[in-house]
């Protein structure tokens, strides 16, 4: 066990720390994107699905960009990744708000409290059917 720990510490302290941290950040970004995709498919209404998609846009994409910036070979690529991240931070929440506002203005009501009623009806049908 201590040999493995010593190897990990040596890898982090050596020149390869950027590779390890960048890979972990890319993995975190990919996993959060997959989890949010499942949320988009499983959530009951438009607003919760929109929330899952917009959180992924900022969290997943930014961690992926940070990981890729650490793995990038040149400073110009890192600068591009930082600019892309800034663009996502500024436009992601704004576009999600605009979409939610347009949906609400068009008359799409959220399922506040209605979801429990729908769930109870589904359970009642499965018991009777």
- pLDDT for the residue 126: 54
pTM for this one?
0.69
CA–CA separation, 46 vs 24, rounded Å?
Answer: 32
- pLDDT for the residue 4: 72
- Give the position of tokens 């996502």: 88
67: nearest Cα among 85, 53, 50? 85
Is the CB of residue 61 less than 8 Å from the CB of residue 110? Answer: no
- Give the position of tokens 């347009």: 102
pLDDT 10s digits, 25-53: 999 999 998 988 898 898 888 898 998 88
- pLDDT for the residue 27: 94
Mean pLDDT of 2-19: 69
pLDDT 10s digits, 62-118: 999 999 998 888 889 999 999 999 999 999 989 999 999 999 999 888 877 665 555
Alpha-carbon torsion (62, 68, 70, 74), positive or negative: negative
- Band of the pLDDT at 17, cuts 50, 70, 90? confident
CA–CA separation, 37 vs 43, rounded Å?
Answer: 10
CA–CA separation, 124 vs 118, rounded Å?
Answer: 10
């Amino acid at each position: 066990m201590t040999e493995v720990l010593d190897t990990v510490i040596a890898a982090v302290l050596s020149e390869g720390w950027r590779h390890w941290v960048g890979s972990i950040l890319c993995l975190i970004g990919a996993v959060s994107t997959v989890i949010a995709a499942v949320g988009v498919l499983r959530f009951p209404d438009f607003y919760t699905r929109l929330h899952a998609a917009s959180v992924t846009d900022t969290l997943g994409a930014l961690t992926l960009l940070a990981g890729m910036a650490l793995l990038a070979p040149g400073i110009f690529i890192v600068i591009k990744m930082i600019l892309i991240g800034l663009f996502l931070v500024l436009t992601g929440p704004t576009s999600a708000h605009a979409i939610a506002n347009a949906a609400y203005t068009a008359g799409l009501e959220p399922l506040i409290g209605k979801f429990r009623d729908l769930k109870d009806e589904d359970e009642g049908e499965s018991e009777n059917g």
